[in-house]
Amino acid sequence: MTRSGARTLISAIASGILAGPGCSDDRALVVATTWDRPTCRAVRSRLLAEGEAFSSPVRWLRLDPWDDPGRVIGPGSGVDVLLGWHGPTLRSLDRRGLLADPGDGWVWAPRVEGDGDAGPGEDRPGIPFASADPRIDPGAGWSASEVLGRGDWARGYALLLGRGAARPDPQPGIEAGGWAALPAGSDHPDAPRFLAAVAALAGGPGPGPSPVEAIEPGLVVLQAELIGATVIDAAPELRDAWDAVGRSPDPGALRAELVEPPPWPPASIQALRSDPTRRSLLGTLAGALVDDEEARGWLLDSWGRPARPIDRATLIELARVADGRMLDEAQFLPWLRAEWTAWARQRYARVVRPGPSGGGES
């Protein structure tokens, strides 16, 4: 989401555009969530069925899971509760001082299936299930980290690609739930009650962090992004490439090309630095991706290194840049995800239709 888009959403809250039918109270409880409209309505219905009544109407501010909620919360924003967010997103907000006192805690909120409350023309969500996407489902993220941390990292990466290629239709599903918290400055009297009520729907504590995540949370985030980009987002191309390996007279060599991880620096950076007429754009790009001066300096320095496939050590180094602040930058991970996805699709297509040698840096 752009900064202007965030400002538009904030203005929408203030003007009541996001209010549901019959909601006219200027002090409505505003919930910023990644969940769709039918799910929000299902949550509301479940809370009413459980006897939870709030003194104010609830207004839903729906954002995408990859949006930075830090742009729409804070003093005067009007947002009272965050609902349905990934753990890494809340950790980032916490490090930036954008969540309420840790004593208020986060709670696990299960995603509730729509039960007929969807309006005309709106799709109802299917039965909730854990997604295969490690960027969404904590269990999938933990599983990917376990495989990658089991010994040889490159071998684990190849194994995950093989599993992804074998899946009949690997696609993101409806996540089982998400985390909820109060943003700093939230003073609506119904906000703590709403947080407790959605937590009660889970019937127990939510999933805790994996041992790997507790030690190196940034590594888990980056590995989830890598597998999400190269296995989930590029799934059709991966399946085609895996089939091509099976048909090849020299499957070993073709498979080695297929399972090679993306490079660092990314391919687009290599293209910029190799072109004297565009090399100055590297500084412009770094400034657009990260505001933190230390992280920006590291990024520019690393872009000058010889390209090589990423590995565990590379990801750990990325995770620790500026004490982890680079991963908190709103634009960095979306950019990296796009780079990895584009590279993977091109590599897989090259495996399917091998061309003449050369073709530039990769």
pTM confidence score? 0.58
How high is the mean pLDDT of the chain?
80
Q: Report, as an integer, the average pLDDT of 322-346.
A: 95
Mean local confidence (pLDDT), 111-133: 44
Per-residue pLDDT at 51? 76
Distance CA 321, CA 296 (A): 9
Cα(362)–Cα(274) distance, rounded to whole angstroms? Answer: 12
* Residue-level pLDDT at 278: 96
Mean pLDDT of 44-59: 83
Helix (H, G, I), strand (E, B), or coil: what is residue 357? coil
For 217-233, the pLDDT digits (tens) are 789 899 999 999 999 99
Average pLDDT over residues 316-331: 94
pLDDT at 259 exceeding the cut of 80: yes
Residue with the bigger pLDDT between 22 and 171: it is: 171
Q: Which residues, other chains included, contact 142 with Cβ-Cβ below 8 Å and sequence gap of 6+?
A: 210, 212, 213, 220
Is 80 exceeded by the pLDDT of residue 194?
Answer: yes
127 burial type by CB count under 10 A (0-12 exposed, 13-18 middle, 19+ buried)? exposed
Let me know: does 237 contact 348? Beta carbons within 8 Å: yes
Q: What is the pLDDT of residue 112?
A: 77
Structural domains in the chain plus CATH codes: 3-129+174-200 (3.40.190), 211-352 (no CATH)
Q: Mean pLDDT throughout 136-142?
A: 70
319 CB contacts (<8 Å, ≥6 apart)?
Answer: 216, 217, 218, 219, 221, 222, 327
Helices (runs of H) and strands (runs of E) counted in the chain: 16, 7
User: How far apart, in whole angstroms, are the C-alpha atoms of residue 99 and residue 182?
Assistant: 6
Which two structure tokens, joined as six digits, stand for 102?
């840790």
Whether the pLDDT of residue 166 is over 90: the answer is no
If pLDDT is split at 50, 70 and 90, which confidence band does 271 have? Answer: very high
Segment 314-319 shows an average pLDDT of: 96
The first and second tokens of residue 131, run together, are: 């997604």
